[in-house]
Amino acid sequence: MKLFAHLLIAGFVAASSFSAVANEAAPAKYKPDLAKGEATFGAVCAACHGPDGNSMVPAYPKLSEQHAEYLVKQLTEFKSDKRANAIMKGFATALSEEDMKNVAYWLTTKAAKPGFSKEKELVTLGERIYRGGIADRQIPACAGCHSPNGAGIPAQYPRLAGQHSDYAVAQLTAFRDGVRKNSAQMTGVAAKMNDREIKAVSDYIAGLR
C-alpha cells in the first residue's frame, strides 16, 4: 500500500513538472498596446485611411473593424514585396512587427461606417454572384468565405462589408491581371470574372451591412 502511495505521489510530481515545462514553453498570447497602435496609426496611416480607419477616399480601403491577423499579414507582405505597392512598401518598411500588431488590433476596436451601392442596376447581378457564384464558370460564391453579411472569417478571410466599390474593383482586377499575387485563391476566382461582374459584385459589397 505504501509503495502504491509513493508511486501515485511520484506520478503526480512528474505530471506537474511536465505541465509546468509545457506552459513555460508555450508562446504567450500577444497583448497589443492599443495606445501605441492609435499613436502609430495617427502618425503613419490616418492621412489616407481616415482618423479611425474609415477612409473617405474611394481609392484607399476602409480598415476599421478589419481582422487584425489579416491586416498584419498584408503589412508584412507589403514590407517583403509579396504584395507589390510602392506607397505601402514605404510605410510598412518603417513599422516593426510589434507596430503592425498594435495598429491592427487597435483598428479592430473602431466601428466601421456603412457604405452604399452606387450602380443600382448592377446590384441584382452583384448579389447573385456574391451569394451564389456563377456555377457554369465554376466561380464560387463570395459569401462562402467572406460570410453572407461580409463580416469575413477572422484570421482567414477579410471583412468586406461597406468597402469602397472603387477599391474592391481595383483589387479584383489586380488579382485577375496577375498584378496582385499574394492570394492564389483570389487570383483563381478573379481570373474567371469579366469587368461587368467585377464591378457588380464590388458595388454590392459596398452596400453590405
pLDDT in tens, 145-191: 999 999 999 988 999 999 999 999 999 999 999 999 999 999 999 99
Q: Is the pLDDT of residue 49 over 80?
A: yes
Segments making up each domain of the chain, as ranges: 34-108, 120-206
Mean of per-residue pLDDT scores for the chain:
89
Instruction: Give the three cell numbers for residue 207.
Output: 452596400
- pLDDT by residue (tens digit) across 51-89? 999 999 999 999 999 999 999 999 999 999 999 999 999
- pLDDT by residue (tens digit) across 86-99? 999 999 999 999 99
CATH value of 34-108 in 1.10.760.10, 1.10.10.10, 3.20.190.10, 1.10.287.130: 1.10.760.10
Looking at the domain 120-206, which fold is it? Answer: Cytochrome Bc1 Complex; Chain D, domain 2 (1.10.760)
d(C-alpha 188, C-alpha 43), whole Å: 36
125 versus 19: which is more confidently predicted? 125
Hey, do 34-108 and 120-206 end up sharing a CATH topology, with the first three levels equal?
yes
CB-based contact 175:189 (threshold 8 Å): yes
Predicted TM-score of the model (pTM)? 0.85
pLDDT average, residue stretch 1-22? 38
